[in-house]
A and B are shown apart, each in its own frame.
Chain A
Amino acid sequence: MSRKPADTAKWTVLNAVVVAYALVPVLWIVSLSFKTSAGLSDGRFIPAEWTLANYAAIFQTGEFLRALANSIGIALIATTIAVVLGAMAAYAIARLDFPGKRALVGVSLLIAMFPQVSLVSPLFEVERTLGLFDTWPGLVLPYTTFSLPLAIYTLSAFFREIPWQLEEAATMDGATPGQAFRKVIAPLAAPGVFTTAILVFIFCWNDFLFAISLTSTEASRTVPVALQFFTGDSQFEDPTGTIAAAAVVITVPIVLFVLLFQRRIVSGLTSGAVKE
Chain B
Amino acid sequence: MSAVDEAKRAERRLGWALCAPAALVMLAVTGWPILHAVWLSFQRYDLKYPDQREFVGLENYLTVLSNQYWWTAFGTTLLIVATQLVIEFVLGMALALIMHRAVIGRGLVRTASLIPYGIVTVVAAFSWRYAWTPDTGYLANLFAADGAPLTERGSALAIIVLAEVWKTTPFMALLLMTGLALVSEDLLEAAQIDGASRWQRFTKVMLPVMKPAILVAVLFRTLDAFRVFDNIVVLTDGAQDTSSVSVLAYNNLIKGLNLGIGSTMSVLIFLAVALIAFLFVKLFGAAAPGADEDGGRR
Contacts and interface: CB of A to CB of B under 8 A. Distances in A.
Interface of A: 3, 7-8, 11-12, 14-15, 18-19, 21-23, 25-26, 28-29, 32, 40-41, 43-45, 85-86, 88-89, 91-102, 104-126, 141-142, 144-145, 148-149, 152, 156, 160, 202, 205-206, 208-209, 212-213, 223-225, 227-228, 240, 243-244, 247, 250-251, 254-255, 257-259, 262-263, 265-266, 269-270, 273-276
A119 B101 CA distance: 42
B227 interface: yes
Contacts, number: 322
A122 B36 contact: yes
Given A11-B103, A250-B123, A23 B26 contact: no
A1 to B, nearest CB: 8
Contact of B105 (A11, A40, A227): A11
Given A227-B122, A258-B111, A117 B229 contact: yes
B26 A107 contact: yes
A91 B18 contact: yes
Contacts of B131: 25, 28
A208 B114 contact: no
A263 B107 CA distance: 8
B58 interface: no
Interface string B106-132: 011111111111111111101110110
Given A15-B108, A156-B296, A240-B136, A148 B40 contact: no
Nearest to B254: A213
Looking at chain A's contact residues, the main secondary structure is helix
Interface in B187-236: 212-213, 216-217, 219-220, 223, 226-227, 229-230, 233-234
A239 B5 CA distance: 68
A259 B123 contact: no
B109 A98 contact: no
Closest 3 CB pairs of A and B: A98-B15, A122-B33, A145-B29
B21 to A, nearest CB: 5
A125 B259 contact: yes
A19 B253 contact: no
A117 B115 contact: no
B292 interface: yes
B113 A18 contact: yes
A92 B111 contact: no
Given A98-B16, A258-B111, A106 B290 contact: yes
Contacts of B272: 115
A148 B178 contact: no
B270 interface: yes
Contacts of A225: 122
A120 B266 contact: yes
A25 B127 contact: yes
